[in-house]
Structure 1
Amino acid sequence: MNSHLKNKVIAITGTTGGLGKALSLELEKRGAKLALMDLDVEQVKKQATELNALGLEVDITDYESIKKAMAKVNDHYGQIDIVIANAGITQIAPMTTTDERDFSRVIDINLNGSWRTFKAALSYIEESKGYLAAICSMASFVHCPLQASYAASKAGMLAVCNSIRLEVKHLGVDVGSYHPTFFPSPLMDNVTSDPVGHKLWGGNKEGPWKMITVEEVVDEILNGLEDRAELVVIPKRKTLVAKASGFFRRYIEKRGFKGNEVQEAIELAKSLSN
């Protein structure tokens, strides 16, 4: 396959998760030179061996960790062309039962961690006139209840991308944000098996919360990377909702959360936390 990604040095965080694994595999098929970064050192080393890639243990909550990792990638390959900030976590809990430390942890990994990833890579990306990509979510636009930390982190990362895009444009650097809806992954397994998550989204089987395939997500991310896109909504049919999220918010809330589902989810979360 003829691909603009062939021989590009791509550093990606969170590679041992569901999306990270699938995306890394397809990038390798397109001939990219991969630097795989994850907190799980055993899994990332195994993955690197399988994909003939560089595997690095990285803690994105520690700027020095990600900074040293980017330097190792540059030393190993001689350059960095694309950085994908993919690592992330979620939490489902109402404010009444959320511990401040849990809220801060989601923000620190999803938002601060992605910002650290970009900052640590910027000097190398500037040199290659490369591309910074953040895996965000439809939660950047549609803010579900009991997910304040996740929604804030993803909306915040969209703002980060939009802001720094203006800072680096004159350097020949592009910045893109990627916004998939729900798709199967270990993270989503936790959501669908969580009684509170199931109460809110009904197992993500139908309606606005219906899951799409991970293959569709990966394909659209790859297309965006090829084009150095600014904003990619997955699936594309939700682009209007994403771009006019404020206008559609009331409709989505009314359609997505019927009756007393939110109140029932909050009470269920309270009972489970006791």
Structure 2
Amino acid sequence: MPKYDLTNRVVAITGSTGGLGSALAAALRAKGARLALFDLDLAQVEAQAKTLGDLSLARGWIANVRSMESLEAAMADAAAHFGHIDVVIANAGIDTMAPMATLNPEAFERVIDINLNGVWRSFRAGLPYVQKRQGYLMGISSMAAFVHSPLQASYTSSKAGVWALCDSVRLELQHLGVGVGSVHPTFFPTPMMDDVVADPAGHALWGGNDKGIWKMVSRESVVRNIVAGIEQRADMVVVPKRNTLIAKAPGLFRRFIERAGFRGKNIQKAIELASSTGWNLPAERQDGPSGNLDASISPATRRSVG
């Protein structure tokens, strides 16, 4: 496959001012990409953009990955400003460190909403623009998608969900020429990792992440591999590469199952027939406990969101 040249490509990045987001933005700008930077603090993201070039090269927008409306507005503004969007990198993410028995349920739900739902929202908001350019969607997952540590149920399940989400969406979009990939780095230095190392529970689990199996890799190596993954429109990026077998083992038969069970024409037909409510069911089957939709949601609410 020819290299996907990043020169003048417009790349939208959520969570752009974080440890990985800021390093990735700088590396992509060095490759000639133009950057739509999305984060929660407008002053901070605008300051970041100024360090990367004038407004024709980088600009910041406030965007909250927990809000579809916020992301749609930011993507629309970015597309209008730059003329198009080629690549969306769903990078925003948070972590927790507590066992299920004591973790505040709201903290669990927040991690899932940002790390997993936020990737879906970012992809959905960016797709109309990326599809026009036959571009690429990238979700930042983790080796935690495959190695499931204790005290991190919210994080590991969200990152495993990102991996699955990217695989599913790739099948939906392949006939449109849109690529989709997930990124799975091991531990590397970021402000979030500083919190993990400083947390007594995190230190007890990972031993400070300075040696052995949990030793951190450099942020530079993670960024370098992510950029290479975009240039290759890769399905999966694993950092370091020696972890590839661990990452690919859970999906060893995935390619066979996809080819045997999901024919391209069948996927396209299913997309055409799918209902925007999520289920093509008669109204009477959507209201009772035996239906596929949550019986606690009223019919009026279902109609309003459909």
Deviation at 1:49, TM superposition (A): 1.1
Structure 1 partner of 2:81? 76
Q: 1:137 aligns with which of 142, 145, 152?
A: 142
Larger Rg over CA atoms: 2
Q: 2:233 aligns with which of 228, 241, 247?
A: 228
1:16 and 2:21 are equivalent in the alignment: no
Q: 1:163 aligns with which of 160, 164, 168?
A: 168
- Once residues 122 and 240 of structure 1 are traced to their aligned partners in structure 2, the CA distance between those partners, rounded to angstroms, is 31
The number of aligned residues is 246
Whichever residue aligns with residue 34 of structure 1, its letter is: L
Structure 2 partner of 1:190? 195
Identity over aligned residues, as a percent?
A: 57
Render the CA deviation track for 1:134-176: whole Å, top value 9, x for unaligned: 1110001111000000001000011100001010111110000
Partners of 2:4 and 2:230 within 8 A in 1: no
Deviation at 1:242, TM superposition (A): 1.0
Residue correspondence of structure 1 range 201-240 to structure 2 within 5 A: 201-240=206-245
Partners of 2:4 and 2:233 within 8 A in 1: no
Structure 2 partner of 1:29? 30
- The structure 1 segments of at least 4 consecutive aligned residues displaced by more than 3 Å after TM superposition are none
- Once residues 132 and 110 of structure 1 are traced to their aligned partners in structure 2, the CA distance between those partners, rounded to angstroms, is 15
Whichever residue aligns with residue 28 of structure 2, its letter is: L
Identify unmatched segments of 5+ residues in structure 1. 248-274
Whichever residue aligns with residue 186 of structure 1, its letter is: P
- Once residues 211 and 102 of structure 2 are traced to their aligned partners in structure 1, the CA distance between those partners, rounded to angstroms, is 28
Partners of 1:134 and 1:177 within 8 A in 2: yes
SS in structure 2 at match of 1:212: coil
Aligned-residue RMSD, C-alpha? 1.3
SS in structure 1 at match of 2:138: strand
SS in structure 2 at match of 1:88: coil
- Once residues 40 and 228 of structure 1 are traced to their aligned partners in structure 2, the CA distance between those partners, rounded to angstroms, is 30
- Once residues 159 and 37 of structure 2 are traced to their aligned partners in structure 1, the CA distance between those partners, rounded to angstroms, is 22
Q: Residue 167 and residue 245 in structure 1: after superposition, are their counterparts in 2 closer, same or farther (change >3 A)? A: closer
Partners of 1:11 and 1:82 within 8 A in 2: yes
Partners of 1:107 and 1:150 within 8 A in 2: yes
Whichever residue aligns with residue 51 of structure 1, its letter is: L
Structure 2 partner of 1:127? 132
TM-score of the pair, normalised by structure 2:
0.79
TM-score of the pair, normalised by structure 1:
0.88
Q: 2:66 aligns with which of 61, 72, 82?
A: 61
Render the CA deviation track for 1:167-215: whole Å, top value 9, x for unaligned: 0111110000000000000000000000000000000112221100000
- Once residues 118 and 246 of structure 1 are traced to their aligned partners in structure 2, the CA distance between those partners, rounded to angstroms, is 23
- Once residues 194 and 245 of structure 1 are traced to their aligned partners in structure 2, the CA distance between those partners, rounded to angstroms, is 30
- Once residues 250 and 5 of structure 2 are traced to their aligned partners in structure 1, the CA distance between those partners, rounded to angstroms, is 32
- Once residues 201 and 43 of structure 2 are traced to their aligned partners in structure 1, the CA distance between those partners, rounded to angstroms, is 32
Structure 1 partner of 2:7? 6
Deviation at 1:3, TM superposition (A): 7.6
